[in-house]
Every structure is written in structure tokens, then in C-alpha cells.
Structure 1
Amino acid sequence: MKSNEGFWRVLDKPDQSSHSEDCQFLRMLSSIERWRGSAIPDKVGTLKSKSVVVLQPMSEHLVWGRLPPGLKLSVGSTVIIEPSTSRCVHRNVLIGRVISPLWGDGWLPVKMINPTNSEIVLRKNAKLADVYPCIALEDFDHVQEQRVFQNVAISSGSSCGSLSAKSSVSGAKHFSDIRLDEMGLKDLNLNDCEVSPFWRSKLIDLIKKYECVFSRHSLDCGEAKGFCHRIRLTDDRPFRLPYRRVSPAHYQKLRETLDEMEQMEIIRKSSSEFASPLVLVWKKNGDLRLCTDFRWLNARTVKDAHPLPHQADVLAALGGNALFCTMDLTSGYYNIPLHEEDKKFTAFSSPLGLHEYNRLPQGLCNSPATFMRMMLTIFGDQNFMSLLCYLDDLLVFGKTEEECLQRLELVFQRLRDHNLKLSPSKCMFLRRSVKFLGHIISQDGVASDPMKVEAIVNVSEKDLMEVDGVTPSVGKIRSFLGMVIYYQHFIENCSMIAKPLFQLMTGQKRPRKGRGVGKRSGAIRKLTPADWTDECRGAFENLKTMLVNQVLLAHPDFSRPFILSVDASMSGLGAVLSQV
């Protein structure tokens, strides 16, 4: 049904009636994501409770269960949660069927009803429900289905046209995959495009035209034309820091990574009088990322004041759009070359020798400013109008498929003209909802990213304590509040709820740098176990609870008037710009 052009034509029209069951059903289908991967399992797994759950009598509950660890999950795909066939499930509990997206953590909601007059207690690790993948008609055997259609078409000549059209729709997925494989872009996933096969074919033609802007591997980055990074120092006296020791088991992987980067001309061997230590960072997939500790160099660097876009300004420009495309530049900073005279400053030491960067590395204090200046030079006239750029992240939006493809072609053309490349695995085209800057963007509004929220909710009270487990840590509390404040616009009265936690950091300012550091301007109060009160504990739990309650913020409509609400007192003032 999603392959039918009429399906999306209905969704593109505004709701004339908020009680239209047909439109609500179609919108539910539009959010369904097919199972990714070559093999579709018959059953994903069984959900189990991770704590004791008490079901109140004559009540409906939403209980969260988790899939067993170690399963191969298709993150982002839609699954169906159904009653379990196991005999271990409580007989008096009714399980409702639920359609939900599958996240990497394995947590899924289960709708449970207790129809009895007494409480029902579900023990820890109790089986709740079974999880199955959503299977589309296109996921069945295309070859066999196509043969059936051909045989029927031969036997009944009058219906040949309609049947051949059905078989072509069923084979659309394989055709697009074959075309991408021919271009060497097998990592580019177009099966999640929420448009008809006609527009998907138009998208493939556009990608074919600009296939040079897509990378073929992780270090296949471009080299921006007309841009270079300069390093201005306040003190050019050389410094030489010793390298950090590396486990002998990692020597081979380090050598391979350095050789690969040298072949791609990202780094080169150096004879510089400067040396910063190399830092090895291991990714979740086992790959090695090379970082450099540039703190000594940054302390002597003249800072660049070029601003980065404000998150609120970026998200406020998306109203009235139905389709979104997100793109990410391959090895973003490596796309900008370093000035020849400044390469010696970026030299880094390791057990395998001294190297220096040919491209802009991560860790330099002015790297974000230089990169943002380049992006605004290339896309500045279209920023906030047809696209959004935040460092190496690009978001293209549009009201219709045709408008979105036109804007995509403009982006591809400018990327090609400036010799920049995109990472195919991080590109999502023609989607009804996408992830951008830690938020879920859709036509209806902006929501928080469930995976980010889960990481915050999983922070326990013990994680905020010092080594002794009872004394609150100022640094850990500051880190927790930093994560929460990022989503403060989704939490009503966030500052008021977090006030007890902010009070713990009162008088905990870091000592000033420069003259007078040794003088005591005031005693810094050290926290004790008694400072972690019930109010602090309640604020900590309330903030996590408020984040779990998903709130959708509607896009502002700048064609309508706004309401300015102000409030002032002897201790402060505030203002809120809202729209009804």
C-alpha cells in the first residue's frame, strides 16, 4: 500500500476532520519501517520484565519489557508485540497488540490489562509478550511472485497491464539495490524512503548524476577548494610532549591506521620541533579513531570568534515541511586542508614516530569555527531557507517530493563544485521523520530522541556520587544537569524542578586562571553525604520522569501572530513567546 502514489497523496493533504479514521490509519502506516537486513527472522524474541511489576485490578497498564541481550536487532524497524505463546505467562493477564519502533537497547512497551478484582504481581524476568517483525509484501519472494503474475497475465490478456504493474512494484526494491551496487554505493539505503516508486526512481537518477559526491570508504573524503585553516600563535616557542604508551597488542592496528591515513594524504611524516601526544579512541564496532591532545597548542592559539548556530534557531525553521533529508560529510574536518606553514604545529608523537596533519584535525580550538565558516560560504544563501547546516550535518527539507529533489540537486551540485563528499551510510533521503541534532524532526513537530533520553534515564543515583558512594559529586551532578538542560524545552518548569541540584553547585566555581590564583577569594564548600537530601533525590527522579513522558513541540507558524508572556519579580524576570 505504501508503494501506491495515492497513499502519499492522501497524507499530503491536511486533515479536514480530526476524527478521520482512514487518515489516522494511513498515517500509522506511513510511520512503519520495514525490517533491514538480508534475512527477516520469523520471531525477534520474547520480552521480559526487568523488575517486579504490580498490575492494579480492573486497570490497563503500559509495562516496559526488554529483549534478551545478544540478539541481532534491526534498529529503527517497526515490530509487532503480540501475546506470548509460552505457558509461563500469567493466564489472567490480557495482552494487547502494539506496533512500535525497535531501538538498539531492546526496550519495548507492552499493553497489559488486569480484568480481575485483585492485584497481579509479575516477577522479575517474567515473560511478557513475543516480538515479531513487520513484513511488507515486497519482502516476500519476488521471483516467485513475478512468475505468478506473468503466468496469469498470459492466460488473461485483458488484465496484463495491471498485473505487470504489480510485479514491477514488487521488484522496485531489488531494482534500486542493483543500481546502487553498480555505482558502488551499497551502503546507501533507499528502502526507507517514504515516497512512491516513481519519486524513488527520480532520486536514484539524481544520485547517479552526482555519484561523485559520495564516498566509497571511511577515509574517502574530499579536499575543499578555496579554503584552508590557519593557526595563529601568541607564543611560537616549540614544545615537545612525550607520547602516551600503547599496548603492544594495539601496535599492528595503529600501524595500519597510520599507513592508511598517510596513503590518503591526511597525515605525513614530520620533522617538526612541536609534538603533541596521540590518543587512541576505540569505537563500538572495534575500529580505531586517532585523536590528538592539542591542549598545549590550543593554549597558545589566537581564538576564532566565528559563532555556531543556536539549536533553537535551527529547529524553528522547519515548520510547514513534510519531507526531510539528512546528510553527513565524510570525516568532516578532514575535508579542509591546512596551510603549509602551519602543518608543523599539528605534529603528534606515537610509539611509531612523529607525524603531522595535512588536513584539519579534530581537537583544535578553532576547527569548528573554520568548518562552519566554510559551510556558510557554500550554503549560506540557502541556510534556513531550503536547508540547515550545523558543522558537517546537513538537513534538506521540502513540502513536496519535487521541491525536495530540486533542493537536493542544488546541494549535490555545490558539494561537487567544492570537492566535498558525503558518507553514504549516514544519508537518509525523502523521509517523513529524521534524527537531527539529537531530536526527532517530523511534519508534526520536534520530539526528543528516545535513545538520548534513555541514556539520561539510565543514570542512577549512585552514578552521581563520589567513590565512597554516599557523597554527591559536583562534577557528576554538573554533567547530569548538562544533559537534562539540553532537553529543557521538553520539561515544564525545568529550572524549578532542578533547583535543589543547582544549589549543590553553589560556591563550587573553578579557580580563576592567571594572577591571584594562589589567593583565597573565598572558601569552597565541600559536599558531604548530608547534602544529598530528599529534595535532591526527588528532583533527580522527577527530571528523569519528565523526560520519559514524550512531548511533541509543534513547529512555529510565522504567518500567524505570537503571544508574548512576561513575568517579573524582585529576584528575576522572564519571557515566553508562544503560539496557540
Structure 2
Amino acid sequence: MDLPSCAWPSTPVRRLEEEYARCMRISQEDLDLELAIYLQEGSELLSQLRDELAMLPELKDLSPECDISKADVGDPDRTTAAEEEKLRSILTYHRKIFWGDGNAAPAPARGVVCDLDVGDAKPVAQRPRSIAPHIMLKVYELLKKLLETELIEFSVSAWASPIVIVLKENGVDIRMCIDYRVVNGFIQLSTYPLPLIDDLLIGFESAMWFMSLDMASGFWAIRMTERAKLISAFVCPFGHFQWVRMPFGLKNAHLVYQAVINNCLWGFVRLPAEEEKLVEQDVLEFLGLDPSERDESDREKAERRVPILTYKITAFKRDIPAPSQMGPGIGRSSYIDDIAHGAPTWDQLCEDLNALLFRLRYWNISVSLPKSEFGKLSILYISHEISAEGLRATPKIAKGVQDLPFPKTLKGVQSFLGSLNYYHKFIEDFPGVAAVLYELTDEQVRAGRDLSKAKEAFEILKRKIVSTPLLRHPDRTKPFVIIPHANQWAACAVLGQEYDGVIHPVRFTGRVLNDAELRYHVAEKEVVAVMRVLDVFRALVQNCLVKIFTRHSVLSWLLKSKTADGRCVRWGVILSHWNLEVHKIQRDEGGLPAILGAGITPRDHLDEIVESLILAKVRVKAPPVISMEICWKQTLLVTS
């Protein structure tokens, strides 16, 4: 028996329109959908799930035109018209890679794809979730724009993830997300490393002018392999779709993009021959490349026949070494899609910008012009303000933090502490103050019992986060200074450097003491604080002279004693590898307080703050224990 044929509309958009009309004719009950899930913008649940939801941005204009004249160039009070014109001419020359307002759908990056590996996992097809009638049109319009720009396509995959609707605070507008929690559980985690935030915030000590570049809808520049498309499939009442470009929210997506930008900035591998032939001639000439002279190996020739959109076609799989002239352009790494750079002169900044843009064009990576800054005395980068003076915190949580009430649950307290951990390098004696909050139990918080000290610590931390000090850029040509400080339950320290006879902070660090360390004498706890600095900032201070200002003589004794035992032996061995200069300080006004910069609090004042927070029942179960030899030595040793 011949079955009637059912031809889909000629275009994906037309097909979506038919599905929208069908959904509007059928009742919610007849669609056989899962119950709707709505998240409120700003809610705690949304913040917890954000990394596993592919949150789609508002798509107002997917092909925004770029006006170079509107680029944020120079500083009105410091730069001349000629300087600004020189930099703007560089932007104009490379204008093809810049995008304007809106969330752009950039051209695909060359030499890279996103591939997802789920091992032997069987596909999981989850049922679509219902959508309220008044939200249907908004979801339809979003899907239509994604189809028009070929960011998604209809799918026949055996995989299917549902969507989640995020309601904005006005209760009318929405953001659509894809719930990839189940799929992410099957995807094998990439081991490609993300850079440490602190590593990206150093190296600016000689810079006067700065620039920051934000890639345009960076993730969407990466094409999906055929199997990755199937795994990325999602369902809603309008049908079954899959991603053609890489979405945010899938496991490893940010690592894929990090690898792309790192290779662009540092020049490890070059494009395969067939893709390099697509690069503009002026880019090839600047980088000193000639595709016609490349001698393709048998391996390259064989892999040119590999079907498109598999991992085997990528520059990372072929591992074709880049020539030396493609090496580091600006000598810096990015944090995913954000790049920051500084230069000592305006001409050097222009030269570095030109070299960077040529490399971005080689890999076909687009830049968002409205989100980028060029030739500034200070820039915002990964929630920090960078200038020639140093580093300042610009935390998102600072807005309104003064009115933040004390959390009603232990989870709320932990969330608050987690937010502050990102800026702990700016908060002096953070572990000492926060220790009171770390000691809280869920029952204690819910019952509101014995919270006076915790609330006091909470208020102190709120004040500290909105008035963080300026941290100087570390300069490895100058000696470093460590000022340790310890109390009953924490060991903290300042890493600083001396300028014009005054010590300025470079970083603050510290940690809560463990049960064994709680029994240490305060002099031993200061050794723990010094060890903490040398461990955390090892790469920064290694092979540099480190001056230590301490109120005790234990450090000098450790470096000289031949009769130490127990943990003192281990400490002495570790410290002997460093170039240390220990100074015993006094408590008088002419001592250390006289040379401390405004960003460092005198140690005695820190003692007063912490002593006010000491609980009646602390974790210390025994009086401090210290060897008699150390006590005796402290009374005799005089160190310089």
C-alpha cells in the first residue's frame, strides 16, 4: 500500500513557522509535554545551574555593522588627536574582523572545531517541556533568528535535551536556556588548562597604556563536528534542533575556545595548507608565510580527503609547527575570550595591536568593537581595574553589598564567602576575619543562635570588599617584602615591595589553621604564614631577594640552628632554598608602622580586630605548645 508522502516546507524557517502554527492550534494537554520549568533571573538556583545551561543571549541584531569611528580610543585628557588617529587607522585597516552592537553570528574560525566524546554512552532523549502560551511567541522568534543565521538546524538525533525558560525581573521578558546537565554527565572532560587569574594580572609593571579586546560571540565562531551536532540536540514544542556552531553550556566549550586563542597569541601550530590558502595575502605577508611553498606531507594529503567537520581536520590534530615569526605576538595569554595588554609607550601599543589583529585575522577570529578599549590609562579586565599605578578590585558584588543582610542559611553564608574568595588577594587578614563564618553550622544559622560575632565578621568583610586597597604591580627587579601576621586560628601575610622608603602591598594571602596548627605558638604560626606566601607566589618571587619583617626571632633561628627537631627541621630545609633576609621589628611607632603604605594595616591594629571576634568556645583544645629551645633562643637572638 502506498503511503501518502509528507514533504517538509522548503526552508528551515518555513518549517519552524508551520510548527509554531501547529502548537498554537493544539492544547497543551494534547502535546504530551513535560511540566514547564521556569527560573527567576538572579535566583540562587540559576546561579548554581548557570555553567550547565546553554543560556542564549538576546538576539536583536545578528549581523551588526561596525563603525570604527565609534571605537573607544584614547584618553581625552592625555592623548593627542594625532595619537588617536594613528591607532584608529590600525583599526580601520583591520575593520573586517570587528563587529558592532548586538550578538553577532561571526564567520567560523579557521582550523578548529568543537568535538564531543561521550564514550560508549547510549543516547538519551528527554521529553520536551511545555511553554506557557504567552511565552510561545518569544521562543519562536528566538529560534527563527538562530535558524536564519544557520547557528542551529533541525535535527534527527537520538539525543535530546529540554529547554528551560528564565524569567527576567520585569516578569515579561525571557531568556531561553538548554538544560545540558544530563548530556554533560556523559561528555568526557578535556584536560586542557584554563589560566590562573593571578597569572593574567601580572606583567604590567612597565606599562603606561592599555587595551582590552573582547571576542565577538566567541563560542559561535567554532564549528561543531558531525557527532557533536547530534549530541547537542535539544527539543521544545516547536521541534528537534541541533547546534551548527558551539554553544555555551556544553562541557569543554570554554576549554576549546581557550585553546584557539592561546594558539593564536603564542603561535604553536599553523593552519593546514588548504585553509591557509583562504587567508588574505596581506596577513600572509605580515606573518612571512607563503602557502605555495609548502611541501605537503603524505599525511596532510591523505587528511585533506577526510570529510569536513571532524576533529581530524583541525590544526591541533595535524600539529603542523608554526614558523618562528608566528611566535608570541604580545607575550600574553587570554582568559577565554578576553585579552588585555599594556605597553610603555603609545607607539609600542599601536605596534602590538597591529601584530595582534593580523594574528586574529589569520585564524578568522572576530572582535566586538563596543566591548573593547584601546589606548587607555586604565582598563577593566576579568573584574579588575588595571592601570599603571597597580591593580584595583571592581567586584560585581560591591554594588549593593552594603545593604546585604546576614544570610538565613549556611548555604547563603558559604555563597557569600565563595564570592569574596575571588578577591581575597585584596582583603587583608581575610582568613582571620572569615574564620568565624567558616565555623558556623547550619543549625546555628537557622536558629539564629550565638551569631553576634559572625554578624560582626560579616559586616567587617562587607566594608573591606567595597574599600579594597590598590595593589602594586609586582616588579621582579626589586626585592620583595613579606610581613606575616597570625592569630588564634589563621595565618596571614602581606607580600609587598618598597617604593621611596614605603612598603606597598602587592598581594594579601592567608589560610585558616588546621587542628594541629591551632596549638602552635604565635611565632610558629608566623612561619606558617611565610611558608604560605612562598608557596602561593613561588613563580613570582623565586630567585628574588625576599625581606621578612617579623615580631619574633624564630625565622632567624630556623635558618641558623643546627639543633632544630621535628617540624622545625622541615621548615628550615624548605626555607634554606630561598634568598631570605629576616628583620626583627619592634612595636614602637618608629618601627614597621612608619614605613607601611596606606594599603597595609599595622599588625597591632589587626590583632585588635581579630580579638574582638574571638568566640567563647573556639576550636583550640589545648594551650599553645612550643619547644623550650625556641623560647630561650627568642630572648637571646638579635637579628638584623
TM-score range, shorter chain: 0.5 to 0.7
2:440 aligned partner: 504
2:405 aligned partner: 460
SS in 2 for 1:484: helix
2:533 aligned partner: 576
Report matched runs for 1:42-191 at 5 Å.
184-185=67-68, 188-190=71-73
- Scaled by the length of structure 2, the TM-score of the pair is 0.54
1:413 aligned partner: 358
2:494 aligned partner: none
Amino acid of the residue matched to residue 246 of structure 2? L
Task: Find the aligned partners of 1:576 and 1:182 in 2 and give their Cα distance.
Answer: 49
Task: Find the aligned partners of 1:504 and 1:341 in 2 and give their Cα distance.
Answer: 48
Q: What is the CA deviation profile of residues 186-217 of structure 1, one whole-angstrom value per residue up to 9, with x for unaligned ones? A: 65333756521111111221111000111244
TM-superposed CA distance for 1:563, in Å, is: 3.5
Q: What is the CA deviation profile of residues 455-493 of structure 1, one whole-angstrom value per residue up to 9, with x for unaligned ones? A: 4334212xx11xxxxxxx121111110111111111111
SS in 2 for 1:404: helix
Q: Which has the higher helix share?
A: 2
1:538 aligned partner: 456
For this pair of structures, how many residues does the alignment match?
373
Task: Find the aligned partners of 1:378 and 1:321 in 2 and give their Cα distance.
Answer: 22
Amino acid of the residue matched to residue 266 of structure 2? G
Report matched runs for 1:370-385 at 5 Å.
370-380=256-266
CA contact (8 A) 1:245 1:351 kept: yes
1:196 aligned partner: 80
SS in 1 for 2:479: coil
Q: Closer, same or farther in 2 for the Cα pair 1:287/1:527, shift >3 Å?
A: closer
1:487 aligned partner: 423
Report matched runs for 1:115-514 at 5 Å.
184-185=67-68, 188-190=71-73, 194-216=78-100, 217-281=102-166, 289-380=175-266, 386-449=331-394, 451-461=396-406, 464-465=407-408, 473-504=409-440
Task: Find the aligned partners of 1:555 and 1:417 in 2 and give their Cα distance.
Answer: 33
Task: Find the aligned partners of 1:559 and 1:291 in 2 and give their Cα distance.
Answer: 49
Unaligned 5+ segments in structure 1 are 1-180, 466-472, 509-524
Amino acid of the residue matched to residue 483 of structure 1? S
Task: Find the aligned partners of 2:133 and 2:70 in 1 and give their Cα distance.
Answer: 33
Q: Closer, same or farther in 2 for the Cα pair 1:317/1:457, shift >3 Å?
A: farther
Q: Closer, same or farther in 2 for the Cα pair 1:214/1:288, shift >3 Å?
A: farther
Task: Find the aligned partners of 1:182 and 1:215 in 2 and give their Cα distance.
Answer: 6
2:479 aligned partner: 561
**Identity, % of aligned positions:** 26
TM-superposed CA distance for 1:298, in Å, is: 0.8
Task: Find the aligned partners of 1:435 and 1:320 in 2 and give their Cα distance.
Answer: 18
Report matched runs for 1:2-81 at 5 Å.
none
Amino acid of the residue matched to residue 423 of structure 2? Y
1:60 aligned partner: none
Q: Closer, same or farther in 2 for the Cα pair 1:282/1:337, shift >3 Å?
A: farther
Task: Find the aligned partners of 1:185 and 1:232 in 2 and give their Cα distance.
Answer: 41
Task: Find the aligned partners of 1:322 and 1:255 in 2 and give their Cα distance.
Answer: 49
Task: Find the aligned partners of 1:400 and 1:339 in 2 and give their Cα distance.
Answer: 44
TM-superposed CA distance for 1:438, in Å, is: 0.7
Task: Find the aligned partners of 1:491 and 1:452 in 2 and give their Cα distance.
Answer: 14
User: Larger deviation: 202-211 or 188-197?
Assistant: 188-197
CA contact (8 A) 2:437 2:454 kept: yes
TM-superposed CA distance for 1:385, in Å, is: 5.2
Q: What is the CA deviation profile of residues 106-155 of structure 1, one whole-angstrom value per residue up to 9, with x for unaligned ones? A: xxxxxxxxxxxxxxxxxxxxxxxxxxxxxxxxxxxxxxxxxxxxxxxxxx
Task: Find the aligned partners of 2:212 and 2:427 in 1 and give their Cα distance.
Answer: 27
1:551 aligned partner: 469
- Scaled by the length of structure 1, the TM-score of the pair is 0.60
Task: Find the aligned partners of 2:113 and 2:178 in 1 and give their Cα distance.
Answer: 20
Q: Closer, same or farther in 2 for the Cα pair 1:546/1:383, shift >3 Å?
A: farther
Root-mean-square deviation (CA, aligned residues, Å) is: 2.8
Q: What is the CA deviation profile of residues 396-447 of structure 1, one whole-angstrom value per residue up to 9, with x for unaligned ones? A: 2111111111111111111111111111210111110111111111100001
TM-superposed CA distance for 1:268, in Å, is: 0.7
1 or 2 for the larger relative contact order (CA 8 Å, sep ≥6)? Answer: 2
TM-superposed CA distance for 1:367, in Å, is: 1.1
Task: Find the aligned partners of 2:109 and 2:435 in 1 and give their Cα distance.
Answer: 47
